[in-house]
Amino acid sequence: MFNKRLLVLGLMAASTTLIVGCKEEAKQDDSAKLTTLEQKANYIIGQNIGRNLKNGGLAIEPESLALALADIRDGKDSRISEEEMQKIMQEVQEKAIAKQEEEQKKLSEENQTKGKAFLDENKAKEGVVATESGLQYKVITEGKGAKPKATDTVTVHYTGKLIDGTEFDSSAKHGQPATFPLDGVIPGWTEALQLMPQGSKWEIYIPSELAYGAGGQGPIPPSSTLIFEVELLEIKAPEAAAN
């Protein structure tokens, strides 16, 4: 059920400057004074409303906002029925979702193209090895220990970056090495670490389909090719990890 109280709160939040905007061309009024707590609060929340409308792909209509404010101030009934409100807000939400999905699709396609170009160039560099899956790696330090199995638990130091050099995560940020079951991470990690002897430090280049794919993850945009520097510190078999 559409919450009418939320609508009222949103309308009340639009700042007094919106009403002024109905009388003049939309421009910044440098003479406007924001001195009282109410004026400042209205202005701040009004900016949030405008920002939300803009981010949702809707045009900012000061006249409509001012009309709603005036109706609330004067105690008038809403000009739109609650049933119609629900339909309108549903349509707004659907349009916002469609816009976001279109933007994500475009970004995904761009990242896919950039990632492929990066990997095509990278695999020709000295010391880079490419596997059949599309994974690439370069040995920085070759360890002399055993190689983990997919069922093992490993402890690593790592740094993760996008291909533009942006660092999105590292074990250093968490203040300690990371420990995880090797079959519980992205496919690129599972494959790469099974090739690494304990004590090794490698740079691993993971195509998006072996990472987080078109969905992305947190600070990782959709269809991103990832670069990890990984040092394999410890390997534990399932029985040892359980103890």
Rounded CA separation 92/58 (Å): 8
What stretches of 74-209 adopt beta strand conformation (E)? 128-130, 136-141, 153-162, 167-170, 178-181, 201-206
In 3D space, the residue among 219, 208, 211 whose CA is nearest the CA of residue 108 turns out to be 208
Q: Catalytic residue among 118, 137, 205, 212, which?
A: 212
180 is catalytic: no
Name the residue with tokens 């280049």: 205
Rounded CA separation 202/230 (Å): 5
Q: Catalytic residue among 45, 49, 60, 186, which?
A: 186
Q: Catalytic residue among 2, 19, 60, 168, which?
A: 168
In 3D space, the residue among 77, 55, 61, 51 whose CA is nearest the CA of residue 19 turns out to be 61
Question: Taking the CA of residue 56 as centre, how many other CA atoms within 13 Å lie in the half-sphere pointing to its CB?
Answer: 17
169 is catalytic: yes
Q: Catalytic residue among 158, 204, 205, 220, which?
A: 158
204 is catalytic: no
Q: Catalytic residue among 43, 169, 204, 227, which?
A: 169
Find out whether 126 and 132 touch, Cβ atoms under 8 Å: no
**Helix-strand-coil percent breakdown of the chain, rounded to 5?**
50, 20, 35
212 is catalytic: yes
CA-CA-CA-CA torsion for 227, 142, 126, 121, nearest 10 degrees? -20
Q: Which residue numbers are catalytic?
A: 158, 168-169, 186, 212, 228
